[in-house]
Structure 1
Amino acid sequence: MGGRGAAAALLVVTLTAACADSSDSSSSPSPSTTDASTSTLDPAALDGRSYASTSVEGAELAEGTTIEVGFDGDTMSVWTGCNTAFGPFEVDGTTLAWTSEPAATMMMCDPDFLEQDRWLTDLFRSGVDATVEGDALTLQADGVTIELETDTSDDLDSLLGRTWTAIGTVSDGAVSRLPVDTRRPRLDVGADGLSRLFTGCRSGRVTVQVEDQALVFSNVTLQRGRCTGPAGQTERAVLALLDGASDNAELHDHLLVVTRGGEGLFFEVR
């Protein structure tokens, strides 16, 4: 992966904070102290890492699922086991919450997964108490305790042979939802890199290659036609990305952020 650009992954995700030694009475609390009475998280520190759940108490996850939480700039993304929700967030003391209704993917899920989507999304709407210690993140709310550990980036070669569905655009470190009432762009990437492309408006082809820690896009061809309005806006964002090597590409399990020149796309990968 190239150096972190304006939008090092998500998504997909990250929290970092240091704990002041509460036994040292001679030092005043730092902005990242975890002392019970003065505990705070510095929002500026919540950028660039991702976490995956290792245990959940007070609730039972759907079989075979985990929870993933990620931060990129002012965006928090949460993978609930079937769908991904993301939106702007804030920190108030140690309380972490979305500041507005999150955008979300709309995958068809079994009832157990849909229920998990619902309660986890509600949890982060209302706010969770967050504690960071080393590589561990603990989230608590409504009698539920979620323990998570740092989730490292996956090998980009694993992207070949999978389908990438764009669920948001990236600009200057912020992830935004796609325009309302537009179809989601998609790349059906072959094992050899030869891929079917849908820009949100037109269909076509593109070649995807992995070189070192970058994704390289070439040979874009599109069916004839002209895209206007929100669909045209989405297509322009797609074509701007699929023109040469990425500046940054980071994959965490099923969440992928790719940027070029400070702009890019946030994908869900299946």
Structure 2
Amino acid sequence: MWKQRTAVGVLALLALAACGTEAGAGAGPGTGSGAGGGAVRTDLPVTGVRWDVDSVTVDGKRTAAPSDARVEIDSKGRATGNYGCNHFTADVRIDGETITVGPGTSTGMACEKDVQRFEAAMSRTFGGKLTAAMAKKTLTLTTEKGDSIALTAQPPAPLTGTTWTVTTLVSGTVASPLPAGAQDKARIVFGKDGSVHGSFGCNSFRGRAKVSGSTITFGRIDGTKMMCPAPRMKPERELLAILDGRTTYEIDHRTLSLTAENGKGLGASAPGTTG
């Protein structure tokens, strides 16, 4: 079903990434390489990058995107992503500054009304011939009638130096969200010096962690000993047990999975960048 992009398309894509143009003052988002702004040098490729959707502009009306809206184009000419609620895939062909999006497929989940309206606007806009304009970490795709999609490159999160917010506790193949009292409060930060610190949701902790390949071996973890509400104490004990001894880890873009040898583990996410 998916068309393979030719070598010419690959070279054109790299040229687009290296020599994008930025619209000058007063220029609209749909301007191409002939816009008033000077050439902008960037080494950011279009493929293999997660592009977070910032907004869609249709008939002059700009609509901010839901937090989950994103697009990624792989080296074989396949675009995958999320309209904000539903996932999609589509064929993509690149020729110079023109990106042609062919027919695709999407899931059919029912979403909140505001998200559904955004999805309808984006699905109509992300199709057919689009003019691509790059500047620094931003990408603007503009249709022939002037509607546009604004996107920002979202790089993968490194293990060290990132504040990982714990979102789930995992037992084998079952993942459970943290209880309401602990959500957005349990965090882990790995330092380049081998330190680790953070919060279990109520009590804070500090210790040592040695990273080797895909494994993290935790040393002694010291924490505060405050009495916390009952709903927080159980996940605190479970998190402390996970950060004990040898674990394996995996990073999928901005999501961290940490698994202990007994199959217990956690899932955590990194905050997005602002471009």
The alignment's TM-score, normalised by the length of structure 2, stands at: 0.46
Give the structure with the higher percent strand. 2
**Which one has the largest radius of gyration?**
2
Bigger relative contact order, structure 1 or 2 (CA pairs below 8 A, ≥6 apart): 1
TM-score by length of 1: 0.46
